[in-house]
Amino acid sequence: MHQDAARFLSQPVAAQSGSPLRVAVYSRIAEAIRDGLLTPGSMIPTETELGADMKVSRTVVREALMLLEEDGLIRARRGVGRFVSDTLPRIGIERIRPFEEVLAGPGETLEVKRTQAIRQAASEFVAPGIGVEPGTECWLWESVLIRDGEAIAQLQENVTAQPVSFDRSVAAPLEIQDDDGATLLATLNNQLGRLAGPGECEISLSQVGPSRAKLLDLRPSDPVLVLTQYVRHGNRPFYLAKCLVSARAGHLSVMQQFRS
């Protein structure tokens, strides 16, 4: 590993107010990747090494690395280690729907249980997805999606908390009324008119991890499907979400739209 990267990663980290320590570790490693200190394909230090350098536990490091892998910034090679991805996540052009529509079966309605709605600094992963600089204040809505009394998914949604303008209108704060009965994307669709996109939904596989296992009544090592949504509005990145779907959700249907 390059000396500049080693020096950057060896500084202790501290959690910001309202943000878990794993997010601070995530942001430190993600910043090293985005700034080129950790180059594509390079191997990153072990959990033990990162924990010792940053003065945090291996559990905190492990959760941060899981988030980095979910977000496509690193890749694990079994028996070898973790490496920076050869290409970083991109933003695509497909239309998407709120997750209560995506995960509900025919004639079903999902319950959206809000677990958190706060303002916090945008991480290195969140910032480009919502069109702001890292550290800019953004909204985070976290919810658990419940079907037939069972928690089937955990959802994190982000939009900027800064004044925004669409269609060349005057920039103004985005007022979002949380009625605790819908996801953030559905709420924004109702408030702004349907966000037609373009957008993209990326699909990957991961483990749920300790902090979210309790919300979904799973073991930390249980596999989950990770659906990452990006939406543009007014020709700019606007909304980003990550949804962890448990196996009890059953099969998922992928809807495609063809344009002439």
Say whether pLDDT at 14 is over 70.
Answer: yes
pLDDT at 249: 85
Q: Which domain holds residue 212?
A: 99-249
Gyration radius of the chain over CA positions: 18
Phi, then psi, of 20 in degrees rounded to 5: -65, 160
pLDDT at 93: 36
Cβ neighbours for 192, distance < 8 A, ≥ 6 positions apart = 166, 233
Cα separation values, 252 from 89, 111, 123, 167, Å: 23, 18, 29, 35
Same domain, 77 and 163: no
Say whether pLDDT at 41 is over 50.
Answer: yes
Same domain, 236 and 211: yes
Q: Which pLDDT band holds residue 222 (cuts at 50, 70, 90)?
A: very high
Query: Could you give the number of structural domains in the chain?
Result: 2
Residue 111 to residue 98: CA distance in whole angstroms: 13
Q: Which helix (H) or strand (E) holds 28?
A: helix 21-34
Average pLDDT rounded to a whole number, residues 29-51: 89
For the ranges 87-101, 142-156, 190-204, the one whose mean pLDDT is highest: 142-156
Same domain, 67 and 103: no
pLDDT at 152: 94
Alpha-carbon torsion (107, 243, 90, 193), positive or negative: positive
Say whether pLDDT at 259 is over 50.
Answer: no
pLDDT at 92: 39
For the domain that residue 60 is a member of, what is the CATH number? Answer: 1.10.10.10
Would you say residue 91 lies in a domain? no
- CA–chain centroid gap for 118, Å, is 15
Indicate the pTM of the whole model. Answer: 0.68
Same domain, 120 and 62: no
Cα separation values, 212 from 24, 109, 150, 153, Å: 17, 23, 15, 10
For the domain that residue 103 is a member of, what is the CATH number? Answer: 3.40.1410.10
Cβ neighbours for 43, distance < 8 A, ≥ 6 positions apart = 1, 81, 82, 83
Same domain, 239 and 113: yes
Would you say residue 112 lies in a domain? yes
pLDDT tens-digit readout, 165-211: 655 566 666 777 787 789 999 888 887 766 656 678 888 889 998 88
Say whether pLDDT at 100 is over 80.
Answer: yes
Would you say residue 184 lies in a domain? yes
Q: Which pLDDT band holds residue 257 (cuts at 50, 70, 90)?
A: very low
Domain boundary among 37, 61, 84: 84
Residue 92 CB-density burial (10 A; 0-12 exposed, 13-18 middle, 19+ buried): middle
Place of tokens 């529509």: 101
Domain boundary among 84, 116, 132: 84
Structure tokens at 43: 């191997």
Cβ neighbours for 10, distance < 8 A, ≥ 6 positions apart = 53, 54
pLDDT at 3: 74
pLDDT at 155: 96
Same domain, 129 and 23: no
Lowest-confidence range among 50-54, 91-95, 112-116, 121-125? 91-95
Domain boundary among 61, 84, 107: 84
pLDDT at 19: 66
Q: Is pLDDT larger for residue 206 or for residue 162?
A: 206
Same domain, 162 and 185: yes
Q: Which pLDDT band holds residue 97 (cuts at 50, 70, 90)?
A: confident
Same domain, 68 and 27: yes
Say whether pLDDT at 1 is over 80.
Answer: no
Q: Are 52 and 203 in contact (CB under 8 A)?
A: no
Residue 108 to residue 103: CA distance in whole angstroms: 9
